[in-house]
Chains A and B, each alone.
Chain A
Amino acid sequence: MKIVVCIKRTPDTETKIRLGGDGVSIDPDGVKFIISPYDEFAIEAGLQLKEASGDGEVILLSMGGDGTQETLRQGLAMGADRAILLKGEAGLDGLVTAKALAAELKEMDASLILFGMKGADMDQQQVGPMTATLLGLPCATAASGFELVGETLTCRRGVEGGAEILEMDLPAVVTITKGKFEPRYASLKGIMAAKRKPLEEKDAQGGESRLIVQDLSYPPERPAGRVVGEGPDAAPELVRLLREEAKAL
């Protein structure tokens, strides 16, 4: 069974973000990059499936610039078999990324294509279902878990106030959220092995972005917070402020 996991290189969630001098990009200086956390869930899901089926291949696919090789090696260290890098700028227009990924996936003939639910950088939550739509494949998004019986995949996705159950036949696309798949750490052996695993590079074919960044800005400062008081006796004053000042009650 051929499983492709699409992963993105994103800044570490702890990283402080500084805007670049041009006003439309971030300053990459001192930023630590990681595999987007949701994509680690997807890698874990792929690895578990391969292990359960006893054979098959987990291939990582990423579109990105220089440095993405390092991110792919991290995924290989977790246990994926090989990786493909589509060299190009993955910006805010998720459709550009989806087109680049779909063009490559069309040639790959995978049984299952896994995505993270969202990239921890732009938080768009769109590349997975866009790619599936371009490929004409069935797709479940934001699945916290799934089961494969024969060729039929059953996915569970949490929505407001409950869960939706979706069933589809392979080949299929699933985007993974936190839930059943707790990502493993790379072992030392895994890290060593990753250095020798194949990593193929090609140019991305996604076209031009049509979502144009006018400017980036820092969030508006929240007015300085106020400690209303200490201990339970501060509660009446808090509730009064919530009603009269904040008009929140």
Chain B
Amino acid sequence: MGDVLAIVEQREGKIRGVSSEVVSVAARLAQGLGGAAHAILVGGSGVSAGATEMGRFGAEKILVTEDDALRDYHPQGYAQVVTDAVREGGYGAVVFAATAQGKDLAPRVAALLDVPLASDVTDFRVEDGGIVAVRPIFSGKAFASLTFSASPAMLSIRPNVFQAQESAAGGGVEAFNPEGLDPSAWTVRVGEFQPSGGGSKDVAEASMVVTGGRGMKGPENWGLLEELRDALGEDAALGASRAVIDAGWRPHSEQVGQTGKTVAPKLYFALGISGAIQHLAGMRTSQTIVAVNKDRDAPIFQVADYGIVGDLFEVLPRITEEVRKLKAGD
């Protein structure tokens, strides 16, 4: 009962970065519970090629289900495979990523297994042989510590909060072929994935986020933000406040906050953002927060680790220049 299953995520055959965090958390939980960490990867034929990589983060066994009907995420298909794997393995805990896919999949699996789920967990510990999961409530205005009185314990973890940790345990890949997988019984038809283009990272999974607010004055000024993002490198993405989205300057997918995405990057730039409570809801668990605002009394300065008071049209280009210099020296 002490074994823990990590749900690995892939898109277009590529394993997503957050999966190394999920497997690392599973390994730490398994250690606390006195069991082993396993991982499961579901995808189309050939997907197993990248699976062994998960062993590096402590998975002693990596189950792989390869089926072309499962190439793209399918809510019913994936839920059935994962549910079968959990039942067969007799796991004591199951760990998902709180990504778009994990937030869709985990509740379905929980309902099929008839066990509760703690979503979007940001901390955990093992106490008296049981898991205590800590998660933000009221958009981070408080935290709840939860225990499970049903097994397996199901949790999804917030991306970027937990460190991926390499481990010696590395195990092999094993095919997992659940019986009775019947795509003709699925009542949802999944269409072709539509990439958003631009190829840049999504704000919810980037480890550095450059967010612009109404202080940016208009969409024509976004080039300044793009330059900082590019200077920071591939792990950086653009975000925006709701005021910006509502004005139609940027797409919905970039909104950070209560009615947008929740992000927890290593580094968050809030540029021309006042720091309304609903914006803080989406970014207050970021590791380091930087604010630039011309108003010294803007509430964003209360959560920012570092601030510059000034006109961002003057300050931002200088920050970009300094970052470029720094990177050039590396």
A residues touching B (Cβ–Cβ < 8 Å)?
11, 13-14, 16-17, 19, 26, 37-38, 92-96, 98, 120-134, 137-142, 144, 157-169, 177-179, 209-219, 222-223, 225-236, 238-239, 241-243, 246, 248-249
Contact = CB atoms under 8 A, between A and B. Distances in A.
Contact of B258 (A26, A37, A246): A37
Nearest to A156: B194
B104 A142 contact: yes
A175 to B, nearest CB: 9
A158 B252 contact: yes
Contacts of A179: 252
Given A214-B146, A217-B145, A178 B255 contact: yes
A231 B316 CA distance: 10
Contact of B146 (A134, A211, A226, A228): A211
Contacts of A228: 306-308
A98 B189 CA distance: 24
Nearest to A19: B142
A234 B314 CA distance: 11
Given A231-B311, A238-B319, 19 more contacts: A125-B107, A127-B107, A129-B108, A130-B108, A139-B75, A142-B103, A158-B253, A160-B204, A161-B196, A166-B188, A167-B189, A168-B188, A169-B187, A214-B132, A217-B145, A218-B142, A226-B306, A228-B307, A239-B322
Contacts of A140: 75, 188
A interface secondary structure, majority:
mixed
B307 A225 contact: yes
A124 B111 CA distance: 14
B142 A246 contact: no
B224 interface: no
A138 B188 contact: yes
B326 A165 contact: no
Interface of B: 11, 16, 72-73, 75-76, 79, 99-101, 103-104, 106-108, 110-112, 114-120, 132, 136-150, 187-196, 201-202, 204-205, 208, 232, 252-253, 255, 258-260, 262, 266-267, 277-278, 281, 284, 287-291, 296, 301-311, 314-315, 317-319, 321-323, 326
B252 A235 contact: no
Contacts of A11: 138
B228 to A, nearest CB: 11
Contact of B104 (A123, A129, A163, A226): A129
A95 B116 contact: yes
A164 B142 contact: no
Nearest to B278: A13
A248 B288 CA distance: 7
Interface-centre pick from A126, A134, A213, A225 (highest chain B CB count, 10 A): A126
Contacts of A210: 115-116, 148-150
Contact of A130 (B72, B107, B147): B107
Given A94-B107, A227-B307, A13 B258 contact: yes
A217 B147 CA distance: 15
B302 A225 contact: yes
Contacts of B140: 219
Nearest to B119: A124
Contacts of B108: 129-130, 132-133
A164 B72 CA distance: 10
Contacts of A120: 139, 258
B119 to A, nearest CB: 5
Contacts of B101: 159
Given A133-B79, A179-B252, A211-B116, A13 B110 contact: no
Contacts of B310: 230-232, 234
B100 A246 contact: no
Contacts of A246: 267, 287-288, 305-306
21 contacts: A13-B139, A16-B141, A94-B117, A123-B138, A123-B139, A133-B79, A141-B103, A160-B204, A178-B255, A209-B116, A210-B149, A213-B146, A216-B143, A217-B145, A219-B143, A222-B305, A225-B304, A228-B308, A235-B308, A238-B290, A246-B305
Contacts of A249: 232, 267, 323, 326
A121 B147 CA distance: 19
Contacts of B190: 164-167
B117 to A, nearest CB: 6
Given A214-B146, A214-B147, A227-B309, A13 B137 contact: no
B197 to A, nearest CB: 8
A230 B111 contact: no
B96 to A, nearest CB: 11
A238 B291 CA distance: 10
B195 A138 contact: no
A117 to B, nearest CB: 9
Given A26-B142, A133-B79, A212-B147, A160 B99 contact: yes
